[in-house]
Amino acid sequence: MSEIVSVINYKGGVGKTTLTLQIGVGLVTLFQKRILLVDLDPQCSLSLSTVDEHYWADRVEKQGSVREMIQSFYESEKPECNPDWIIENALDRAWDSMPGKLEGLDLLPGHLDLPDYEMKLVAKKPGHMNAEEYQLKRYMILKDALAKVRKKYDMILCDCPPNIYMVARNAIIASDYFLVPTIPDFISCYGVPFILEHIKAMQEEVRERGGHTEAKFLGIVRNRVRQAGSHLVKEHEEHSVKLRERYEGALFDSMIIDRIGVAELLGSRENLYTAKSERSNEIKKDFTHLVREVLRRMGKD
């Protein structure tokens, strides 16, 4: 049975999408795992970093995406994840000229309409449910839907939007673990305690309503860390110390340094772990440590 992991923070730009993708690609390339990436952010960066934009646009209109998964809550008693919505071997698709070929990394693509569904989930009860059921079940759509496909995968990684609204709440309720990326600076770290509190309060609410949720805090990963020589820049060092003191063992030892090539990798759909350029070596080292630590913290090394 696969584990479901959500990458979440309500700060944008801290690396949720980058980490989701590169942890997924690393698990497939280095550990031959079967991975499903789930794009829950309406910006659809994860989808666009994985498959060609025209292929994605055409595909989600013709075959469906997470939008249809949420819509299924309104159409039947059991939310579904139709296997047709999943793009198999996503880095292989519609991008034959690129060096990113990779089998075993599937994508449940995102959709730009998701904000409308955030609103709908808050305001509109499905006709087939009573009010009490609706209060609970609207958090459990992803969990119920993914139950149908999860046995195909070793791990499912959910890239969350930069908020803790309904879709992100669904991700947490579906998950076994959640991972919080942050940049170790004042602005990015400010929201970390709040996201943890919100997740805890939401889990309590779901339990009080009779729902089951067990997502555990896998930890905090520092991303876009800036170095000066062999040291971290002062602000990043200070916030690393604060995070380590406040969250004890929850701060990952591995971290991702801020490097130009990281952003380029997203745009080029190149597989970091098989890339040959000198510049990719350092990035590869960072992400390989991170992937190993993810497995270790999940007791899977």
Ligand X SMILES: Nc1ncnc2c1ncn2[C@@H]1O[C@H](COP(=O)(O)OP(=O)(O)O)[C@@H](O)[C@H]1O
* Cβ(222)–Cβ(184) below 8 Å: yes
Q: Which does 14 bind (CB under 5 to 8 A by kind): ligand X, Mg ion, none?
A: ligand X
Using rule CB under 5 A, residue 254 touches Mg ion: no
Q: Which residues contact 273 (CB under 8 A, 6 or more apart)?
A: 25, 26, 29, 30, 284, 287, 288
Site string for ligand X, 204-243 (x = CB under 6 A): -------------------xx-------------------
SS (H, E, C) 43-74: CCHHHHHHCCHHHHHHHHHHCCCHHHHHHHHH
The amino acid present at 171, given as its one-letter code, is A
Q: Which does 15 bind (CB under 5 to 8 A by kind): Mg ion, ligand X, none?
A: ligand X
Closest CA to 160 of 44, 55, 7, 53: 7
User: Which residue has the closest beta carbon to Mg ion?
Assistant: 17
Count of residues in contact with ligand X, rule CB under 6 A: 17
Return the number of the residue (4 or 8) whose C-beta is nearest Mg ion. 8
CA–CA dist 21, 79 (Å, integer): 26
CA–CA dist 202, 129 (Å, integer): 21
Q: Which does 6 bind (CB under 5 to 8 A by kind): ligand X, Mg ion, none?
A: none
Among 141, 218, 262, 294, binds ligand X (CB under 6 A): 262
Task: Provide the minimum distance between the beta carbon of 266 and ligand X in the complex, in angstroms, as a whole number.
Answer: 5
Using rule CB under 6 A, residue 12 touches ligand X: yes
Question: Where on the chain is the footprint of Mg ion (CB under 5 A)?
Answer: 16-17, 41, 45
Residues of this chain that interact with ligand X (CB under 6 A) are 12-18, 45, 162, 223-224, 256, 258-259, 262-263, 266
